Amino acid sequence: MILNELVKLFEGNKEVIRHTGWVITDPKSYEWWDGFDSADKIVISAFLVQLTKWESVKRVIGTLEEHGLAKVDSIAELDLPTLESYFRPINFYRTKARRVLNFAKFVKEMGGLNKVLLLERRPLLLTQEGVGEETADSILLFAGHQPVFPNTEYSRRVLGRVTGQEMKKRDLPNFVYHNVQQDLYLYKILHAGLGAVGKAFCLLTKPKCDRCFLKQVCEYNYR
Ligand code: SF4
């Protein structure tokens, strides 16, 4: 089955995948998310990365950590202007500061991240400003270790080309759910690997198939 073949290829190309920000490691580690060591950092960065370079996000997370603020419950105690000052290197920093602060207060009211990052809380997560389906499912999977597969443009494009099937937005999670067992490690490595290939090789207009490590199993490459 193609997804199992992809998992093997991703495992054999960990270093290439690492260069795009993903770490293939234990299923219950936070380090998948570019080596981060906490659910809090994953959640905060998931808000910040929208329309922003990842390097800027990492710098801001580092600054928050230096000030003892890389935790959602610490952020909930800040006022908005203070949080804005930390987020200044980020695009749309005022909007994102408001969203992160509101989310931090919501998490505090709910009793902590471990009470929020649960699959049954997904509908509630989606009511929060700045939390769309992709963000919700990404933080549920990587910060909450919940078995859900995020529906991303990279994954749809790469899987669509590899399988030679049009992969519509509504098709992707079901394709994964029907073709691999429910398993945190498999969902994480597939998301990370597809994202890495989408970012490094499988570009929208001119995919770099000659350099891509999926070329031997990819229908698009044999057209
Ligand atoms: S071989 Fe080409 S089309 Fe296939 S996944 Fe790689 S870059 Fe994309």
In ligand 1, which atom is closest to the CA atom of 209? 2
Strand-pairing partners, residue 22, are 33
Ligand 1 close to Cβ of residue 2 (< 6 A): no
The tokens 């990819």 sit on which residue? 218
158: Cβ below 6 Å to ligand 1? yes
Decide whether any atom of ligand 1 lies within 6 Å of the 162 Cβ: yes
6 lines ligand 1 (CB under 6 A): no
Structure tokens at 143: 């910060």
| pLDDT tens digits along 130-163 | 999 999 999 999 999 999 999 999 999 999 999 9
Catalogue all structural domains in the chain, each as residue range(s) with its CATH number.
2-28+148-222 (1.10.1670.10), 39-142 (1.10.340.30)
Number of H helices, E strands in the chain: 13, 0
Cβ(157)–Cβ(198) below 8 Å: yes
Q: How many Å is the maximal CA-CA distance in the chain?
A: 56
Is residue 197 within 8 A of residue 203, CB to CB? The reply is: no
Burial (Cβ within 10 Å: 0-12, 13-18, ≥19) of residue 92: middle
Indicate the range of 53-62, 84-93, 140-149, 167-176 predicted with least confidence: 167-176
- Separation CA 39–CA 43 (nearest Å): 6
Task: Say how many Å lie between the CA of residue 76 and the centre of ligand 1.
Answer: 43
* The pair of three-digit structure tokens given for residue 29, joined into one six-digit string: 């580690």
SS3 133: helix
For residue 1, the model assigns a pLDDT of 80
Tens digit of each residue's pLDDT (9 = 90 or more) over 86-137: 999 999 999 999 999 999 999 999 999 999 999 999 999 999 999 999 999 9
Listed residue (49, 98, 52) closest to 75, CA to CA: 98
Q: Quick one: which atom of ligand 1 is closest to the CA of 219?
A: 4
Interface ipTM > 0.95: yes
